[in-house]
Amino acid sequence: MMDFTLAAKLAFSGARELKNEDVCFVGIGVPSDAAVLAKHTHAPDMTLIYESGVIGADPLVPPLSTGSPSVADGALMITDGLTVFSELQAGRINVGLLSAAQVDRRGNLNSTVIGSYESPKLRMVGSGGAHDIACLAGRLVILMPHDPRRFVQNVDFITSPGTDAEARKKLGLGGGPSALVTERARFSFETGFARLSAIMPGYSEEDAVEDIPWSFDKSENFEVVSAFPENDVETARRRLEHLF
């Protein structure tokens, strides 16, 4: 696996989180790559939804935004943002797939500012649909490159809320983060805080948590993934050439 790009490894790792019966609200970038890979390997009946209003998408080339023409490829329905977010609010979308600039050990995500909100070092694109997806999807899968700058004790701004179970229950929100996936590891949130639950091919346990500023324990279901399925690799080479 070590000769593959980091983006390819992250897509392989993320695809493992998706199931055949999932209705998945897909973010742009690696989340889209992971969803397409899953759909063309072990989850052919999964439904991909993009916030521009496309339901049942199967993009032939990687979309650069939710409005890219390729998100309409193979679509079952092309509607509008109001419709797909209404489906989210109605509880019909059971998984969201997101990335962000920062994440903390409770799965809070930041895609708004680096630094203070009033005087930021960097102002970013903001929520888009990420806040709604994190609040209302049945579960949330977070895909993050293993870049230590992205992993912080507390995000600078909570664009998308994490695992505060009491607050989520009080507000009637979805289940929140179920997994944080990097190209090196998978972290789960059974206790409300990130726990190391898997190590990805080609990496050690030390690699998995290198320069991440949290203390970790291991999930009861901890595993070492020896290799990704060869079918996934071959499918990615055909369908997701930009990853190689």
Surface-to-core class of residue 81, CB atoms within 10 Å of its CB (0-12 exposed, 13-18 middle, 19+ buried): middle
Q: Rounded distance, CA 186 to CA 216, Å? A: 12
**Cα 41 to chain center, whole Å?**
18
Question: Taking the alpha carbons of 118, 121, 124, 126 in that order, is the dihedral positive or negative?
Answer: negative
Query: Would residue 51 show up in a list of annotated catalytic residues for this protein?
Result: yes
Out of 17, 51, 190, 210, the active site residue is 51
SS3 assignment, position 160: strand
Amino acid at 192: G
Which H/E stretch holds residue 25?
Answer: strand 23-26
Reading the block at residue 40, the tokens are: 């063309």
Residue ranges in 66-115 assigned as alpha helix (H): 81-89
The torsion angles phi and psi of 18, rounded to 5 degrees, stand at -105, 145
Residue 179 neighbours by CB under 8 Å, 6+ apart: 17, 141, 142, 186, 187, 188, 189, 197
Active-site positions read: 51
